[in-house]
Amino acid sequence: MPRLDSRSEDTIPVGKRAVYPGMFDPIHNGHVDVIQRSLQIFDEVIVAVVANPSKQPLFSVSERLEMIDEATANIVGVGTSFRIAAFDGLLIDLVARERADCIVRGIRAVSDFEYEFQMALMNRKLRPTAETVFLMPHERYTYISSRLIKEVASFGTSVAGMVPSIVEKRLADKFPPR
């Protein structure tokens, strides 16, 4: 059963709460690495899966939630300090609703920075109390992106070592080996 958001508005606040948003279509090992790094910094991390149908995701929101739940099941510190939630709309509205202090974004290369910097400044303008923290995954994951994972898998090629095993299986179901 996924660790889905069931918290009421009356929950007692924890120390530093961060939201790590993304499509996670699909989650890959770079995402998992950023989640692990976030859990070393923040008291609570909310992995927020955006339900953006205009991007035509390969996996449904519920499939992405399930894959994240399974992919992170063995992360040390997972439990009360970690949740998975789906959202639609502005990220900054979710940050406000969750009373989060911070937005976590993964940066693989300089090419990611310009877009992420622009988004961070807009979020700061909309909610000055929310900071954005950029985390780099381990260098062995810097070349991985969900877009590339889907492209490689669409040719029936293995993506082992780049994605958690649940994602590898789900991709093989959608794109059988040739």
Residue 150 designated active-site: no
Does any domain span residue 177?
no
Q: Is 108 known to be catalytic?
A: yes
Closest CA to 99 of 44, 36, 33: 44
Q: What is the pLDDT of residues 69-107, one digit of tens each?
A: 999 998 865 555 889 999 999 999 999 999 999 999 999
Q: What is the CATH number of the domain that holds 29?
A: 3.40.50.620
Q: What is the DSSP string of 106-161?
A: E--SHHHHHHHHHHHHHHHHH-TT-EEEEEPPPGGGTT--HHHHHHHHHTT---BT
Looking at the structure of the chain, the number of domains it has is 1
Q: Which of 105, 146, 150, 170 is catalytic?
A: 146
Residue 89 located in a structural domain: yes
Residue 88 domain flag: yes
pLDDT at residue number 8: 42
In this structure, is residue 34 part of a structural domain?
yes
Provide the percentage of residues in the chain whose pLDDT is more than 70: 89
Q: CA 164 to CA 68: how far, in whole Å?
A: 9
Question: Does 12 fall in a domain?
Answer: no
Which residues neighbour 165 within 8 Å (Cβ) at sequence distance 6 or greater?
none
User: Quick check: is 105 in a domain?
Assistant: yes
Residue of 16, 81, 97, 108 with catalytic role: 108
Instruction: Single out the catalytic residue among 3, 17, 28, 31.
Output: 31
At 9, the pLDDT band (50, 70, 90 cuts) reads: very low
Q: Which of 7, 55, 138, 140 is catalytic?
A: 55
What pLDDT shows up at residue 29? Answer: 97
Global pTM value: 0.88
- pLDDT at residue 114 greater than cutoff 70: yes
- Structural domain contains residue 133: yes
Catalytic site includes residue 55: yes
Query: What is the extent of the structural domain holding 85?
Result: 17-142
Catalytic residue status for 60: no
How is residue 175 written in tokens?
Answer: 């794109």
Is residue 116 in a domain?
yes
